[in-house]
Amino acid sequence: MLLDTETETQTAPVTAGLDIRALLEEHAGRNYELHAEHVNPANVRTLKTIGFDRCYVRAEGPYLWDVQGNQYLDMLSGYGVFGLGRNHPEVRRVLHEFLDLNYPSLVKMEAPLLSGLLAEQLKKRMPNQLDMVFFTNSGAEGMETALKYARCATGKPAIIHCAKAFHGLSYGSLSVNGDESFREGFAPFLPDCRKIPFNDLDALEQELRKKDVAAFVVEPVQGKGVNLPSPGYLRAAADLCRKHGALFIDDEVQSGMGRTGKFLAIEHDGDVDPDIVVLAKTLSGGYVPVGAVLCKKWIHEKVFSSMQRSVVHSSTFSQGSFAMVAGLAALDVLDREKLIQRAEKMGNLIGEGLRAMIPRYEFMKEVRWRGLMMGIEFGSPRSLTLKAAWTLMHTLDKSLFPQAAIIPLLDKHRVITQVAGHNIDVVKLLPPLVIGESDVRWFLKSFEEVLVQMHKFPGPAWDVISDIGKMVVTNRAR
C-alpha cells in the first residue's frame, strides 16, 4: 500500500532548523574542552602552556574579541589568510548577494563562467606571460599541482628546494619542505627531491648541471624565519633554470596578493620570468578556501595533451562558484582600497619603528621585512647577566626564547604574533593589509614595553619562560 504523502506531511512534527547563533551562545568558551576530547589534545596542551588558550567570539578587520569582551590586535591574520582583514564587509556583501541568486556550482560537465572570469583577472596581475590557470582549495594543493606539472612537462624527475622552505604539509609539498621538524615520522618522501641552501646560486647551478631537474621551487620571501633573498638572486635563479631546461616555480602562497607591497613578492627583484606561480591565502577573502596555479601555455599543453587527458589533473571542489566569487571580490577590494600600496606604507612604518629599537635593546639583532611580511630576530646580548639568561633559555630549548616576547604581547598587550619557526629566534608578523597608523602605534608601544621587561633579569618575563622550559624538559624525559 502506498503512503499518503500529503497526510504524512501534514501530521509529521515540525522541527526548527539549526539556530547557529543559539548554538554558539550555548557553547561559548568550550573550545578547548571540545578540542581536547575530539580534535587535537596535543595542540590544546601547547596553547594552554603558552597562554594562548583564548576563546574568540567576534572578528572585524585587524581585530578579534574574546568571550570576555577583550579586544586584540591580530598581527598574524590566520597565517596570512586574512590579508583583507576579518569579515571584510564588501566581500561579505558580494557573497550574500551571490547566495541569493541560487546560482549553480560544480556541475562538472561544463565550463564554469566564474572561474573563467577569475582566471582572466589573475592573469592581468602577473608580471610576465602566464596563460593558463588551475584552481585549488589550498596552497599545499597548489604545490602538488605545480610539482605534477613540472615533472610531466619536462619529463625529468628531480625537484630542487631550499633549506628552511615551507611549501605545505601534504606528501608532495612535504617532500620539498626544508624544515625537518615537519618531516619527522613521515618518510619516505617523494624520490629525487633535493635540498640546497637558500640564496646560493652556485649550489643551484651545481644541481641543475645534473640535467635531471624538473623544477626549482622557491618562496620569494621565506615564511619560516622571514628570510629575504639577495638582490638579483631570484632573477638569476630563473635564468639558470631556463639555461638548464628546468622550470622555475614561484611559491607566492603567503607572500603574494599584495602582502609585500607588490602583487607578487618576486616583483621586488625586477624582471623575473617564473614558469609557474602558486597563490592562495588572501585570494580567499578570508571566507572560503581557494588557491590558484598559473603557468605558461606550453606547460599546460604537456599536461592536458589530448581530449582523453583533459581531466588528467583535477579536484572535486576546484572552481566552486562560491570560492570563485570570493576570489573576484578579494581582487576588487585589493584594487579599490589600494591595499597593496597600504601594505608597503604600513610595513615601512612598523619596520623602521622596530629598527630604531635595535641600538637601545641588546636582544634586538635584526629586523627584516617586505611590506607587511616581517621578522624580528633576537641575538645574544653583550652584558654578562643577560648573556647568562640567553644561554640558559637556549640550553633548555632552542625554540624557547622568542616566547619571552609573544607571550606577554598577548597576555599584557592583547597583540597576537607567532614564533617564525623551529629553533630560530625570530618573531614573525603577518598583519592584515587593512591595519592603520593607530594599530602600528599599538604594536610598537606594546613591543617596546615587552622588550623593557625582557631586559630585566630576573623578572616576570623570565619566570614564565623558565617555567615553560622546565615543562618542556620534563615532557622530553617521560
Confidence (pLDDT) at 152: 98
Confidence (pLDDT) at 467: 67
Confidence (pLDDT) at 2: 42
Q: What is the mean pLDDT of residues 4-24?
A: 72
Phi, psi of 136 (to 5 degrees): -125, 180
Confidence (pLDDT) at 1: 39
Residue 108 confidence (pLDDT) above 50: yes
Distance CA 51, CA 99 (A): 39
Distance CA 171, CA 175 (A): 6
Distance CA 444, CA 254 (A): 23
Equal fold, 54-86+339-477 vs 91-336 = no
Confidence at 7, pLDDT banded by 50, 70, 90: very low
Cβ-based burial of 453 (10 A; exposed 0-12, middle 13-18, buried ≥19): middle
Domain boundary assignment for the chain: 54-86+339-477, 91-336
Q: What is the mean pLDDT of residues 296-322?
A: 96
Confidence at 463, pLDDT banded by 50, 70, 90: confident
Q: CB-side exposure of 84: number of CA atoms within 13 Å?
A: 26
Confidence at 3, pLDDT banded by 50, 70, 90: very low
Residue 27 confidence (pLDDT) above 90: yes
Residue 474 confidence (pLDDT) above 60: no
- Of 458 and 207, the one with more pLDDT: 207
> How is domain 54-86+339-477 classified at the architecture level of CATH?
Alpha-Beta Complex (3.90)
Q: What is the mean pLDDT of residues 153-181?
A: 96
Q: What is the mean pLDDT of residues 439-445?
A: 98
Confidence at 360, pLDDT banded by 50, 70, 90: very high
> How is domain 91-336 classified at the architecture level of CATH?
3-Layer(aba) Sandwich (3.40)
Percent of the chain with pLDDT over 70: 94
Residue 459 confidence (pLDDT) above 80: no
Angle made by CA atoms 472, 476, 478, in degrees to the nearest 5: 120
Residue 8 confidence (pLDDT) above 70: no
27 is written with which cell numbers? 557553547
The 10s digit of each residue's pLDDT in 204-220 is 999 999 999 999 999 99
Q: What is the mean pLDDT of residues 197-207?
A: 98
Q: What is the mean pLDDT of residues 111-140?
A: 98
Residue 295 confidence (pLDDT) above 90: yes
**Among 408, 413, 330, residue whose Cα is nearest residue 80:** 330
Confidence (pLDDT) at 471: 61
Distance CA 388, CA 401 (A): 13
The 10s digit of each residue's pLDDT in 38-78 is 999 999 999 998 899 999 999 999 999 999 999 999 999 99
Confidence at 352, pLDDT banded by 50, 70, 90: very high
Q: What is the mean pLDDT of residues 174-195?
A: 95
Q: What are the b/e assignments for 239-268, b being 16+ CB within 10 Å?
A: ebbeebebbbbbbbbbbbbbbbbbbbbbbb
Secondary structure (DSSP) of 142-206 = HHHHHHHHHHHHH---EEEEETT----SSHHHHHT---HHHHTT-----TTEEEE-TT-HHHHHH
- Of 418 and 464, the one with more pLDDT: 418
User: Could you tell me if 142 and 253 are in contact, meaning their C-beta atoms sit under 8 angstroms apart?
Assistant: yes
Percent of the chain with pLDDT over 90: 87
Confidence (pLDDT) at 457: 79
Residue 151 confidence (pLDDT) above 90: yes
Confidence (pLDDT) at 145: 98
What is the distance in angstroms between the CA of the first residue and the CA of the last residue of the chain?
67
Q: What is the mean pLDDT of the chain?
A: 94
